[in-house]
Structure 1
Amino acid sequence: MTDFEILKKISECPGVPGYEQAIRKMIIAEITDLVDEVYVDSMGSVIGKRKGKEAKAVMVTAHMDEIGFMVSHIDDQGFIKFQPLGGFDPKTLTSQRVIVHGREDVIGVMGTKPIHIMSPEDRNKAPKIEDYFIDTGLKPEEVKAKIRVGDTITRERELILMGDCYNGKSLDNRVSVFILIQCLRALKGRELPYDVYAVFTVQEEVGLRGAINAAGHIDPAFGFNLDVTIAYDVPGSQPHENVTQLGKGTAIKILDGSVICDYRMVSFLKEAADAQGIKWQNEILPAGGTDTAAIQKFGKMGAITGGISIPLRNMHQVIETVHIDDVNASIELLKQALTTLDQYDWSFV
């Protein structure tokens, strides 16, 4: 199976926060032969442990959940109202296909008031989540037979190659799931300095919940989080707004809205990248949180933690885009970090 085929399978698999069953099963199948032990914790995060020379825990996270929706009401005409699971940009939802995961999967379309019958004032307003409904094309009795309140909803999108980029749904954060699996595959049989816990976390999009739980029972000394970050390098943007740029390399997190990364880890990652000629860029993300914060704060004594981030356009929209070179650079940097972690001076200076 090619890298594209693996990522396509991971990207298109459903798994909204709290309902990660399908993607969890897929991850377990992918990593079982790559680690010494696999287990699932109380919240549903998948942990693959690789034993190192020393029993010092290194926690690497990639959240498996994707933003989506949950059915909250079915009206007498069979139209479905819903609640978001994670943050969405509502303006991108008009006329988009979705999959309602009921007693069977049902295709639907996001609908809202047509522009032709909007007031002039409404035409100039951005739509809100509550303005939308889902139309399945089924009779009301069929909808109610197949779908219940509480069923989950995901986007109906195929991953494609678009130039030098991957383009599809849920690359936040399935591209990081792919990167972590590929790193485990590359490190199979290689000796590691410390025990590595590859943690595919749940419920990140609703408050870092799975990573908080996992950090509590793993109690890491070091941590790396894999997640996407903003690439706002498009027409109309200002250089200071870019955060990162697509195709310019993996991003080394300095801070986001939830964490200030340990300066020692930031320096370590930059030196590790330079030693291998890996393209990298700085990441300062002014808002939004990641599992980086959970790793850093929720072990018994905290952890020396950093983030390897993948530049992404159109975050939290219907389709998202990452550059193949940035993905590959992220894999290479994580490999280098995990194999040289014991060679750095971690004392405070």
Structure 2
Amino acid sequence: MAARGARGGAQQRIKGWLTALMATSGLSGHEGPVRRLLAKQLSELGISSHSDRMGNLIATLPGDKSAPSVMLFAHMDQLGLVVRKIEVSGLLRVERVGGVPEKALPSQAVRVSVGKGRTIPGIIANKSHHATQPEEKYKVLPYSDLYIDCGFRSAAEAAEAGVVVGAPIVYAPNVLEVANSRIVGTSVDDRAGCAVMLEVARALKGNAKRSTLHLVFSVQEEFNLRGAVTAAQALNPDIAIQLDLILATDTPDMTQRGDVKLGGGPGISLYSFHGRGTLNGTIPHPALVELFEKTAVAEKIPLQRSAHIGALTDSSYVQVTGTGVACIDLGFPTRYTHSSLEMCDLADLEGLAKLLVVGISRIDRKFSLDRDQYLE
């Protein structure tokens, strides 16, 4: 009974942190509200933190200096839009920030930031069905043809409300609890990773026998995938563990992509590559693959394997900082990625946190990063 209660406690903590984080807007390059919330959440755990010039939030848990140092990181930003033009009518034209799926945009509710923590609601317009011609019904409009309606009657009224060119826009924050401990919401990518990091920090802060652990909540991942690089350059870790989504493939439209199931446990990426213009990816260091696979077996944590093209994380650039960093991507299965409502499973998040706590605790002074010690 005690074990079940402990697991439930971790899951409830993660749920609480995740819910608060998803309710907070933080477009790439405008992460301030999320950063301040995370700093507060860390402070409540008795952990101090600081920000670098990029806006990354960094906290260090000192440990054995003779063991390889670890940087555990997840990005706090989210994708969205910025105002490109304010029409005379008061309607807003936009540019996208990050991999925004254009087919999922029309009729979505949004929030436009107008400074000092204030936002105003709006909607991405969708042409009235009654006036839609047959040839238009199956056409996806490019984002440049879309506009946002906040109810303004003129450009002057929009300006008076605080809307300016460059104003950040995100999906209206939303959180839904559905069956089987599953959570649906805005920016599961990667506020779920941030929530897991908080649980890891809570569990490891009193363990001085482990290696030094740097916690980095990074910025601008959705924009240019390099927000964590400045932190890695400053911290110079030996190991970097990145937390982000793993594509769930258990829906009819995704079955050909792999065998990752929502609720099937945390995931480990064995290969990632972005083939659409950004030629980069991550092939994990074999020492870290062995570490987390053996930890999963020992702790009876189901660990799902993923390999795919089409996604990319900050680890692709962190791995080539300094003289090279041993990197791995771990994560949680997620459905409907980059849409206004993504889905994850709290049990997977809890399993990921446990995998990290135990795995990181096993990185001691005897832990080797010599590739030739690992048979491949």
State the TM-score, normalized to the length of structure 2. 0.88
User: How far apart in 2 are the matches of 1:158 and 1:112?
Assistant: 20
What is the CA distance between 1:37 and its match in structure 2? Answer: 4.5
| CA shift in 2, pair 1:94/1:80, >3 Å | same
What is the CA distance between 1:198 and its match in structure 2? Answer: 0.2
| CA shift in 2, pair 1:310/1:125, >3 Å | same
Q: Does the 8 A contact of 1:85 with 1:205 survive in 2? A: yes
Aligned-residue sequence identity (percent) comes to 27
Give the corresponding residue for 1:79: 91
User: How far apart in 2 are the matches of 1:127 and 1:266?
Assistant: 42
| 1:283 has 2:311 as partner | no
The 5 Å alignment of 1:257-276 reads 257=273, 258-276=281-299
Give the corresponding residue for 1:204: 221
What is the CA distance between 1:92 and its match in structure 2? Answer: 1.4
What is the CA distance between 1:280 and its match in structure 2? Answer: 0.8
State the TM-score, normalized to the length of structure 1. 0.94
Give the corresponding residue for 1:5: 16
The 5 Å alignment of 1:231-250 reads 231-238=248-255, 240-242=256-258, 244-250=260-266
SS at match of 1:297: coil
One of 126, 133, 136 as aligned partner of 1:112: 126
User: How far apart in 2 are the matches of 1:323 and 1:2?
Assistant: 14
SS at match of 2:318: helix
| 1:181 has 2:198 as partner | yes
| 1:170 has 2:187 as partner | yes
For structure 1, list consecutive stretches of 5 or more residues without a partner in the other structure.
Answer: none
Give the corresponding residue for 1:88: 100
Amino acid in structure 1 at the alignment position of 2:296:
A
| CA shift in 2, pair 1:281/1:106, >3 Å | same
| 1:48 has 2:59 as partner | yes
Give the corresponding residue for 2:345: 323
One of 138, 141, 152 as aligned partner of 2:168: 152
SS at match of 2:348: helix
What is the CA distance between 1:132 and its match in structure 2? Answer: 1.4
Q: Does the 8 A contact of 1:54 with 1:194 survive in 2? A: yes
Amino acid in structure 1 at the alignment position of 2:329:
G
Cα RMSD between the aligned structures? 1.8
SS at match of 1:102: strand
SS at match of 1:282: strand
Instruction: Identify the range of structure 1 (159-168 vs 123-132) with the bigger mean alpha-carbon deviation.
Output: 123-132
Amino acid in structure 2 at the alignment position of 1:190:
N
SS at match of 1:54: coil
User: How far apart in 1 are the matches of 2:13 and 2:293?
Assistant: 30
What is the CA distance between 1:161 and its match in structure 2? Answer: 1.2
Runs of 4+ with >6 A deviation: none
Amino acid in structure 2 at the alignment position of 1:148:
V
| CA shift in 2, pair 1:297/1:203, >3 Å | same
Q: Does the 8 A contact of 2:15 with 2:346 survive in 1? A: no
Amino acid in structure 2 at the alignment position of 1:120:
P
Amino acid in structure 2 at the alignment position of 1:10:
L
| CA shift in 2, pair 1:264/1:30, >3 Å | same
Give the count of matched residue pairs: 347
What is the CA distance between 1:105 and its match in structure 2? Answer: 1.6
| 1:98 has 2:110 as partner | yes
Amino acid in structure 2 at the alignment position of 1:76:
V
Amino acid in structure 1 at the alignment position of 2:179:
G
Amino acid in structure 2 at the alignment position of 1:113:
K
Give the corresponding residue for 1:69: 81
User: How far apart in 2 are the matches of 1:137 and 1:203?
Assistant: 30
Instruction: Identify the range of structure 1 (31-40 vs 178-187) with the bigger mean alpha-carbon deviation.
Output: 31-40
The 5 Å alignment of 1:188-227 reads 188-227=205-244
The 5 Å alignment of 1:25-40 reads 25-32=36-43, 34=45, 37-40=48-51
Give a deviation string over 1:140-195, Cα, whole Å, max 9, x none.
Answer: 23212111111111111321211120110000000000000111012231224211
| CA shift in 2, pair 1:271/1:7, >3 Å | same
User: How far apart in 2 are the matches of 1:235 and 1:243?
Assistant: 12
User: How far apart in 2 are the matches of 1:2 and 1:282?
Assistant: 26
User: How far apart in 1 are the matches of 2:170 and 2:76?
Assistant: 14
SS at match of 1:200: strand
Q: Does the 8 A contact of 2:78 with 2:189 survive in 1? A: yes
What is the CA distance between 1:80 and its match in structure 2? Answer: 0.5
User: How far apart in 2 are the matches of 1:291 and 1:337?
Assistant: 21
Instruction: Identify the range of structure 1 (152-161 vs 308-317) with the bigger mean alpha-carbon deviation.
Output: 152-161
For structure 2, list consecutive stretches of 5 or more residues without a partner in the other structure.
Answer: 1-11, 274-280
SS at match of 1:346: coil
SS at match of 1:87: coil
Q: Does the 8 A contact of 1:87 with 1:316 survive in 2? A: yes
| 1:255 has 2:271 as partner | yes
Q: Does the 8 A contact of 1:215 with 1:294 survive in 2? A: no
What is the CA distance between 1:77 and its match in structure 2? Answer: 0.7
SS at match of 2:324: coil
Amino acid in structure 1 at the alignment position of 2:167:
D
What is the CA distance between 1:264 and its match in structure 2? Answer: 2.0
